[in-house]
Chains A and B, each alone.
Chain A
Amino acid sequence: MANTLPPCLLLVLLLLAPVLPAPHKRGLIFNLDTGELCLQSAQCKDGCCHRDGGLSLARCVPKAAEFQECSPKSIYGVYYKCPCESGLTCDVDKTIVGSITNSDFGTCKDPRGSRLW
């Protein structure tokens, strides 16, 4: 599902890779900056490959901060709502349909936060 749209794009990236030697800190396939096109969250520096809808292109964006909407980690590696930053959990009621269509959405919460207030 995630790989249906952009295989041509992957090909372009693969062909470009040897032509443009990647500078030290950013990459063409891995270590992608915010806003760069991606296929998989593992490619992104910020750790989330996000797209708005099933047909839109995915781009690297920062993970969700506390109180923002999120989805739990999925095997697809591409998200409609990003997973939470480290230390936070995505508070969500998981459903079977939701986990197949990658549409279980919740809110990022600090698991220790409730204890303190």
Chain B
Amino acid sequence: MLGIWILALFLLSTAEGKEVCYERLGCFSDDIPWSGTTERPIHKLPWDPKKIDIHFNLYTRENPTSFQEISAIDASTIDYSNFNTSRITRFIVHGFIDNGEENWLSDMCKRMLTVEDVNCICVDWKKGARCQYTQASNNVRVVGAEIAYFVNVLKEKHGYSPADVHIIGHSLGAHVAGEAGRRQPGIGRITGLDPAQPYFQGTPVEVRLDKSDAEFVDVIHTDSAPTIPYLGFGMSTAIGHLDFYPNGGEQMPGCGKNPVSQIVDIDGIWEGTRDFVACNHLRSYKYYSDSIIYPDGFLGYACASYDVFETENCFPCPQEGCPNMGHFADKFKGKIKNNFVKLYLNTGEAKDFALWRYKVTVTLSGNSKVKGYVNLALYGSGGNTRQHQIFEGTLQPDNTYTSFIDAEVNIGTVTKVKFLWNNNWLNPTFPKLGAATITVQSGENGKEFRFCGSGTVREDVLQTLTAC
């Protein structure tokens, strides 16, 4: 009984609503919607910016390997640095537990600098991110306010337009970007890399990242299963102008490895341990990073659901093209018609993650039906693929089988196709099977290529089909 009274007293005292104020940034309260709702039951106030200790680490083409620390509080550091107002600026913000000097942030900057001339700023707020989750998700508000303040200083002191600012945030960092965009209207673009789900999904737009936070908001969802019970860390709801759900958005290929193989990673034990804890969740920034060097390797197909995407209904890309997931998503900025666009695609299971989607239709030829599988390899101006299995089951001559190949190379113009079948065990009658015609359709531009084959082949023998 006493316990209940203490609990009631505790709840009452916290429900009153407190407020903290910090210089430059203003006041932060723990009133609804910030706390005290079903999504955010625990009351927490954001920490002092001094305690969170936010750093802005600048990389440019002049200093691609070592960063210069700049600060809006001491604006002269911006003047002395390699920051150039004629270039666009991209902020990269990490999430929970993470660290702004973690390799993925600087590697992403380095990749950007190979394709464009930018001011790339890694935002480090590790002291505010390495605490209880409920605390970190409130510290987000202060970090967002600091970025907004930084952008404002650029605007006031250097005449720098917020439209030239792009904020890339991973996990909690995505909501940092949302907060910055809410405080500083007119920010050009925000990219949410698997925005954090607990404490944000289902909350009002001022709490979380939303399409109203910037002129263009694109989101990559890679871990959108519910936190309870599946431990998905990312949001499942569509919140941007473009929402990409690679591999369906819940389970990423390459993330289902056994624990030993996952931790003992090619990129080291540290990277492996990170993946062991949150493989799906971390895939979002890996895809983004790869999309910088493979602009056309991550095309998103607008579709009702992932299951429909796996059928023929959402193929190929429409007349105006498919949006690119990742870095070049803003190419599609002016073409958005619908309110929320859900886009689907498949990716590879290890780097490089880029894949190019083709639809293949095979008409079989032969005398007898057999059980087995059919493999196809595509050859073209850009190279050739591995053999991809397109069908398994009863192979009936004159029947047509349709499937998709997510090719690991951009084949370009398809020049020939190789066909191979196998019935999995030795058949003493030595049946023969062939492909009479194969059509290959490119997803990117809808171009169709037609190939014809003559005769039949024994199992495990390649049949080459040429254009006709």
> Nearest Cβ distance between residue B215 and chain A, in whole angstroms?
39
Determine if B261 and A65 form an interchain contact, defined as CB atoms under 8 angstroms apart.
Answer: no
Among B254, B264, B387, the residue within 8 A (CB) of A34 is B254
Given A33-B257, A35-B257, does the pair A86, B422 have CB atoms closer than 8 Å?
yes
Which residues of B sit under 8 angstroms from A116, Cβ to Cβ?
A: 464, 466
Which residues of B sit under 8 angstroms from A63, Cβ to Cβ?
A: 386
Determine if A110 and B418 form an interchain contact, defined as CB atoms under 8 angstroms apart.
Answer: yes
Nearest-CB residue, chain B, relative to A88:
B462
Determine if B460 and A35 form an interchain contact, defined as CB atoms under 8 angstroms apart.
Answer: no
Which residues of B sit under 8 angstroms from A110, Cβ to Cβ?
A: 418, 462, 464
Nearest-CB residue, chain B, relative to A28:
B258
Given A87-B420, A87-B462, A110-B462, does the pair A59, B266 have CB atoms closer than 8 Å?
yes
How far is A86 from B419 in the complex, measured between Cα atoms in Å? 11
The contact string, 1 if C-beta is below 8 Å from chain B, for chain A 75-87, is 0000000000111
Among A9, A12, A33, A85, the residue within 8 A (CB) of B387 is A85
Chain B contacts with A in 265-301, Cβ cutoff 8 A? 266
Given A35-B254, A86-B422, A87-B461, does the pair A62, B261 have CB atoms closer than 8 Å?
no
The contact string, 1 if C-beta is below 8 Å from chain A, for chain B 408-436, is 00000000001010100000000000000
Determine if A36 and B257 form an interchain contact, defined as CB atoms under 8 angstroms apart.
Answer: yes
Given A65-B377, A113-B462, does the pair A35, B350 have CB atoms closer than 8 Å?
yes
Is the C-beta of B17 less than 8 angstroms from some C-beta in chain A?
no
Determine if B460 and A86 form an interchain contact, defined as CB atoms under 8 angstroms apart.
Answer: yes
Nearest-CB residue, chain A, relative to B418:
A110
How far is A88 from B461 in the complex, measured between Cα atoms in Å? 8
Which residues of B line the A interface, CB within 8 A? Answer: 254, 256-261, 264, 266, 349-350, 375, 377, 379, 384-387, 418, 420, 422, 460-464, 466
| A-B pairs with beta carbons under 8 Å apart, 12 shown | A16-B260, A36-B257, A57-B264, A65-B377, A66-B377, A66-B384, A85-B387, A86-B375, A87-B461, A87-B462, A110-B418, A112-B461
Q: A33-B257, A66-B379, A67-B384 are in contact. List 18 more A-B contacts (CB 8 A).
A: A9-B260, A16-B258, A16-B259, A35-B257, A36-B261, A37-B260, A63-B386, A65-B387, A86-B420, A87-B387, A87-B460, A88-B462, A110-B462, A112-B461, A112-B462, A112-B464, A113-B464, A116-B466
